[in-house]
Structure 1
Amino acid sequence: MIWKKWAWLPDYLENQISKDSEVTSPWPSSTDLKEVLKCKIPKEQERIKNFRKSNGDKKVGDITIDMMYGGMRGINALVWETSELDAEEGIRFRGLTIPECQKCLPKAPCGCEPLPEGLFWLLVTGDIPTEEQAEALSKEWSCRSKLPDYVTSFLKRHSKRCSSHVTTSSCYDSFEQRKCGAEIKCSDSSKDWSYNFTEMMGFDNPELVELMRLYLTIHSDHEGGNVSAHTVHLVGSALSDPYLSMAAGLNGLAGPLHGLANQEVLVWLQKIQKEHGKDVTDDQLKAFITKTLKTGVVPGYGHAILRKTDPRYMCQREFALKNLPDDPLFKLVSKVYTIVPPMLKDLGKVKNPWPNVDAHSGVLLQYYGLKEMNFYTVLFGVSRALGVMASLIWARALGLPIERPKSLTTNALIKAYGGCDKKK
């Protein structure tokens, strides 16, 4: 699909953003997100009601048996308002590409990357927030950052299961109902979410803070059909509370085919360095890639939908070129980027030979001292919470029903369409 309906965006953004990148907004200036939603939700409810009344019986697409056995790929069956993935342009957050988000979303006073708080406001409301609105969210989240003592105690005893920690938080609607633990450092309400998150991890590096702002923004949402997002939606459709829904999504994110992909990339890159040293020649790299392709795939390359280099990869590459151009691991990633796509194209079987987001993120995290690869899924989950919670808000606001697709047995399908051994 060509995004003709968004052709107005460049001119619009040019009018909304001054030369010094300050954002102005024609929408309500309230910094209270709930108040803004009170205005928007009834209008959206009425719009969807009228749309369904006029078009509810129309077909969106056809389902094949291969789709049913193939993980439901290609089936249009989910409403997801916050983002949409285009094969050529990549992800759009409420219609905005990643470069557009980098340009128009509010930033920290001394920062260049967008604040995740601003992205969350955009995902929830569909509006580009003002600096004041993003700052209000920073303060609101900071006020909610203190953990109950029973959660901090659980954290100390069971430190390896992030989803379990989220589940324990569902016991009370408000943390204020329990005495808050004082041993875990709380956030500074004068700082933004990414700054506080980085500091709580034990780091004091402005560049890492900027990376976290970028990382938490670009990993936030990727349509609703991926495992983590769909799981949150599915569990939430049963009216499970947001903590339980998010915990379920985190368990899905921890699968090696989803949130662990950047770890596999790092392991593969480290194997190359172990075998050939830090200065790998083109011929050595081509030989290693050829050996890899004999038994599997090059990790970090290819995507189920995208047919170009993932824009999330590109913005991370630009960050690396600016801040760590001489890092040996980044140089290797860059060399892989020039060599792998032509090799995959020559195979003639690969629809997308380009790198995705996972081909780059781990290298940046390693450079800034985040060496524990098992923690990367936690980082991914922290970011993905923005998108799935924004979507859960609208699922509740629109009264979307419990998700309950119809399933069929293989015997039922054979009976309806004929078996493979049926004589023609």
Structure 2
Amino acid sequence: MNLLSKEEKMIKNSQIPSEFYKKYNVKKGLRDINWKGVLAGLTNISAIHSFDKEGNQIPGILEYRAYNIKDIINDLRKENRFGFEEMTYLLLFGELPTANELQGFQNLLTSRRTLPEFFVRETILTNASSDVMNSMSRCILALASYDEKVSDISIENVLEQSLGLIADFPLLAIYSYQSYVHYFKKESLYIHYPDPKMTTAENILRMLRPDFHYTEVEAKVLDIALILHIEHGGGNNSTFTTHVVTSSGTDTYATIAAALSSLKGPKHGGANIKAAKMLENIKENISNYEDDAEIEKYLHKILNKEVFDKQGLIYGIGHAIYSVSDPRFEVFKSYVETLVKEKGLEEEFKLYEKVARLAPKVISENRKIYKTICPNVVFYSGFVYRILEIPQELFTPLFAIARIVGWLAHRIEELINMNKIIRPAYESVLESKNYIKLGER
């Protein structure tokens, strides 16, 4: 009698020897030894550069529709204005808007920032979930039932659906969170409607806080966070999911629900929660923030699976694409410094700076690394959200509020350029067997 448990049978019969990946020249995770992704498609939407033409590592460059993100952010800072809506226009239409075009587009988004009558009560509040991302997924699919052209995948109709979803995502996230707080934490329920005169970042803070109050610095930092998360190439997990699902010919709502499910994972959009918790854990276990040796010793313990979540990972350090530097991290850091000064958290920020500087060195000492390691944008995200009084349950939904723009731009690009379903190959590594009759087993 086979005494193996069902779980043991599954593991035994599903494992693939690691040497087979080399034998069949299969790149695990569709990435090579330098973590560079296997080329699977072409795009006009964004570009990421971390190596030069000769293969040498260079400081990371991120471009939206061929415009360098650093130039974009510098212009926004110089003119002291919000930019998320402008970047939404750029990614969807491929061109920077004129002042009149931008104003008209902002008005269009504002007019679409409303949910069907009774939707909040009957869909969000009546079916409260302890997981905000799951609640958002259910809401997306529920919205499909209100769309008479749900299955129309013409570019004109998909654009209409896209504008509606981009406008509604902040509402779905905030209201799903409020529902969770009320029914699972037994706290007071309040539903604030968006202000049509305010930007996306301002409305998020306005709807989230009981007293509607926020500072201009807070709103500007959140706006930059949204811009830095809005798009990151066609190969990131959730955007590639968007391409794959779109290629099947399915509708916009199903596509975005699939992308949202991908983003939810702790190795993707959920990483900001892990990074925030890890940094809190470091803060609690370091007695002297000025002692580099003590910080390094604790980071070694994290890598050796002795402390924190015992997974051996320093979250927020290293990236699949960037090597020398993540431009989003560099841009975000300058805004974080402004926010930290307003909140009087300079000492805590110094600890974060030290961890960002020391962690790559510790990882290089402990791991066989084929490229330079740098902090990524996730490293500061959780810290910033905590300063902005945004609960952890909303960290990944905030990512989704931004990234849906990139998803929809890529969905439209896939619909325009491709007419084949995406279907890569998987090689079976089993030898054929003769079937055994039931009575002979």
TM-score of the pair, normalised by structure 1: 0.74
State the Cα deviation string for residues 304-325 of structure 1 (Å, max 9, x = none).
1211221111111100222214
Q: Say whether 1:72 aligns with 2:4.
A: no
Deviation, structure 1 residue 237: 1.8
Match of 1:48 in 2: none
> Could you tell me whether the CA contact under 8 Å between 1:122 and 1:129 is conserved in 2?
yes
Letter of the structure 2 residue corresponding to residue 307 of structure 1: S
Task: Please state whether the residue corresponding to 1:86 is helix, strand or coil.
Answer: strand
Q: Secondary structure at 1:409's aligned position in 2?
A: coil
Matches within 5 A, 1:175-324: 184-202=191-209, 203-205=212-214, 206-277=216-287, 279=289, 281-295=291-305, 296-324=312-340
Amino acid across the alignment from 1:261? A
Asked whether the 8 Å contact 2:84–2:223 carries over to 1, the reply is yes
Where does structure 1 lack aligned partners over 5 or more consecutive residues?
Answer: 1-62, 414-424
The Cα of 1:250 is off from its aligned counterpart by 0.8
Distance 1:258 1:193 in 2: 23
**Does structure 2 retain, via aligned residues, the 8 Å contact 1:113–1:214?**
no
CA distance in 1, matches of 2:116, 2:22: 50
Residues 1:72 and 1:279: Cα distance change in structure 2 (over 3 Å):
closer
Contact kept, 8 Å, 1:163 with 1:250, in 2: the verdict is yes
Taking the aligned partners of 2:250 and 2:88, their CA distance within structure 1 comes to 22
Q: Distance in 2 between matches of 1:249 and 1:290?
A: 35
1:171 to 145, 148, 153: 145
Alignment-mate amino acid for residue 70 of structure 1 = K
Query: In the alignment, what sits opposite 1:6?
Result: none
Q: For the structure 1 residues 137 and 329, does the alpha-carbon distance in structure 2 shift closer, same or farther, using more than 3 Å as the test?
A: farther
| Pairs within 5 Å for 1:34-45 | none
Counterpart code for 1:155:
I
Task: Note the alpha carbon deviations across 1:50-102, whole angstroms, 9 max, x for none.
Answer: xxxxxxxxxxxxx9866635022232112332112111333211112221121
2:70 to 94, 99, 117: 99
In the alignment, what sits opposite 1:383? Answer: 402
What are the Cα deviations for residues 396-418 of structure 1, in whole angstroms up to 9, with x where unaligned?
233543222233312489xxxxx
In the other structure, the counterpart of 1:361 is 381
**Quick one: structure 1 residues 113 and 240, their matched pair in 2 at CA, closer, same or farther if it must change by over 3 Å?**
farther
SS in 2 for 1:259: coil
Deviations along 1:274-309, one digit per CA (max 9) or x if unpaired, are: 223574522221111121122213211111121122
When the two structures are aligned, how many residues end up with a matched partner?
A: 344
Counterparts of 2:398 and 2:27, CA distance in 1:
32
| 1:276 partner letter | I
Distance 1:128 1:261, change over 3 A: same
Return closer, same or farther for 1:277/1:189 CA change in 2, 3 Å cut-off: same
Which has the higher mean CA deviation after the structures are superposed, 352-361 or 68-77?
68-77
Q: Is the 8 A contact 1:116 1:213 kept in 2?
A: yes
Taking only aligned residues, the RMSD between alpha carbons, in angstroms, comes to 2.9
Q: Name the CA distance, whole Å, in 1 between partners of 2:195 and 2:290.
A: 44
Q: Which has the higher contact order (CA 8 A, sep 6+)?
A: 2
| C-alpha spacing 1:194/1:66, structure 2 compared with 1 (3 Å) | farther
1:133 and 2:101 correspond: yes
1:369-408 correspondence runs (5 A): 369-370=389-390, 372-408=391-427
Alignment of 1:11-160 (within 5 A): 68=26, 70-73=28-31, 74-87=37-50, 88=58, 89-104=60-75, 112=80, 114-152=82-120, 153-156=122-125, 157-159=127-129, 160=131
Q: Any conservation in 2 of the 1:231–1:249 contact (CA below 8 Å)?
A: yes
Distance 1:114 1:70 in 2: 40
Distance between the aligned counterparts of 2:246 and 2:197, measured in 1? Answer: 33
Tell me which amino acid in the other structure corresponds to 2:247: S
1:167 partner amino acid = L
- C-alpha spacing 1:64/1:112, structure 2 compared with 1 (3 Å): farther
Aligned residue type for 1:344: I
2 CA distance for matches of 1:119 and 1:196? 17
Give distance in 2, aligned partners of 1:213 and 1:400. 36
Relative to structure 1, the CA distance from residue 344 to residue 408 in structure 2 (aligned partners, 3 Å threshold; closer, same or farther) is closer
Instruction: State the identity as a percent.
Output: 25
**Alpha carbons 1:82, 1:93 under 8 Å: kept:** yes
Whichever residue aligns with residue 26 of structure 2, its letter is M
Q: Is the 8 A contact 2:86 2:96 kept in 1?
A: yes
Deviations, residues 92-133 of structure 1 (Å, cap 9, x unaligned): 11112221121346x8xx973651111122112322222322
Which AA in structure 1 matches 2:147?
A: D
Question: 1:190 deviation in Å?
Answer: 2.5
> Residue 410 of structure 1: SS of its match in structure 2?
coil
Equivalent AA in structure 2 for residue 271 of structure 1: N
Query: Contact 1:138/1:193 (CA < 8 Å) preserved in 2?
Result: no
CA distance in 2, matches of 1:137, 1:187: 17
Q: Which runs of 5+ in 2 are unaligned?
A: 1-20, 32-36, 51-57, 149-160, 165-171, 176-189, 306-311, 433-441
Equivalence for 2:10:
none
SS state of the match for residue 324, structure 1? helix
